[in-house]
Amino acid sequence: SGVLEPGKQYRWNMQAYNSAGWSELSSILYFQTAPTPLQKPSAPVSLGEAVDNTALSWTTGGNAEWFGQNSIYYHGGDATQSGAISHNQETWIQTTISGPGNLSFYWKVSSEAGYDYLEFYIDGVREDRISGNGDWHQKSYSVTSGSHTLRWRYTKDGSVDRGSDSGWVDKVEFAKEEVKQPVTP
């Protein structure tokens, strides 16, 4: 009797006994419990809620959609996570802002270091990328006047799975700057 521990491998073999005596030991049998106990599913988290910015309109695409989840986050009890993809695939989330202003966000990745990346783009130009395993990092950018597309993209190369093979984005903030009009005498 007892409670099985999450994520632990167990093994056993059997031996029977009757009036003729003991049988041979059976082959060793193995099983492993799930890494964490199953939990009751929570209500879906919208992309805007997950990044703590419902003022912006969020879209997702690629080979799988990003989603809001509440297991791994930096702020507010939830964050967005990249969709599950295979080799040579991508998944992205994006929004559009109107500058000028200051943008900041937190991100992290769990991937094959140097091969699978979480990347950040402004208007199709890659500004930064991270790979491997690490904790949350804040990024900040000064955004010029006009409309700008922000995209976070997780990509995998042609082989090898490492870590969770996921990227996360949280606490996206955009503070629009007021453009001062010149005063004419």
Does residue 13 have a pLDDT over 90? no
Closest CA to 12 of 23, 27, 1: 27
Whether the link from the prior residue into 100 is cis, omega within 30° of 0, is: yes
How high is the mean pLDDT of the chain? 88
Query: What confidence score (pLDDT) does residue 35 get?
Result: 67
Does residue 54 have a pLDDT over 90? yes
Does residue 178 have a pLDDT over 90? no
DSSP state letter for 48: H
Which three-class secondary structure state does DSSP give residue 31?
Answer: strand
Query: What confidence score (pLDDT) does residue 31 get?
Result: 67
- Listed in order, strand segments (DSSP E) in the chain are 9-12, 17-18, 21-22, 29-32, 59-62, 67-69, 79-81, 90-110, 117-122, 125-130, 137-155, 166-176
Structure confidence at residue 109 as a pLDDT band (50, 70, 90):
very high
Q: pTM for the full model? A: 0.74
Query: What confidence score (pLDDT) does residue 42 get?
Result: 61
Q: Which of 34-43, 105-114, 127-136 comes out lowest in average pLDDT?
A: 34-43
**All structural domains of the chain:** 47-176 (2.60.120.260)
Query: What confidence score (pLDDT) does residue 34 get?
Result: 66
DSSP state letter for 19: T
Query: What confidence score (pLDDT) does residue 184 get?
Result: 73
Does residue 9 have a pLDDT over 60? yes
Structure confidence at residue 39 as a pLDDT band (50, 70, 90):
low
Query: What confidence score (pLDDT) does residue 44 get?
Result: 85
